[in-house]
């Protein structure tokens, strides 16, 4: 493997190697679905799980109570999370 470079131009942007390797693997086959994470329908259970995990992670990062709700706007191919009070 070549020497890893940490790019701080746009801000701390270095990702751990294991994160990059997981993203690489899931780009071709997301959790055994046989599809890339970018190919999964935004109406599927797999996608719903991604949204739920993202909302829970955001709630943890913001140290928000479990009663905090988030609104997600699904605009193919992206899902945008918005803060709601």
Q: What is the pLDDT of residues 41-50, one digit of tens each?
A: 888 999 889 8
Euclidean distance between CA atoms 67 and 78, whole angstroms: 25
Compute CA 55 distance to the chain's CA centroid, rounded to the nearest angstrom. 10
Entry pTM: 0.62
Q: Answer yes or no: are the C-beta atoms of 70 and 81 closer than 8 Å.
A: yes
**82 pairs with which residues across the strands?**
71
* Euclidean distance between the first and the last CA atom of the chain, given in angstroms as a whole number: 47
Report whether pLDDT(34) > 70: yes
pLDDT band at 74 (very low <50, low <70, confident <90, very high): low
pLDDT band at 38 (very low <50, low <70, confident <90, very high): confident
Q: What is the mean pLDDT of residues 53-71?
A: 88
Q: Which of 1-5, 41-45, 66-70, 74-78 has the highest mean pLDDT?
A: 41-45
């Amino acid at each position: 493997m070549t020497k890893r470079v940490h790019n701080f131009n746009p801000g701390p942007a270095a990702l751990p190697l294991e994160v990059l390797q997981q993203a690489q693997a899931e780009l071709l086959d997301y959790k055994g679905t046989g599809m890339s994470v970018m190919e999964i329908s935004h109406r599927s259970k797999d996608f719903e799980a991604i949204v739920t995990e993202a909302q829970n992670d955001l709630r943890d990062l913001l140290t928000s109570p479990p009663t905090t709700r988030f609104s997600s706007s699904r605009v193919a191919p992206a899902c945008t999370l918005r803060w709601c009070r």
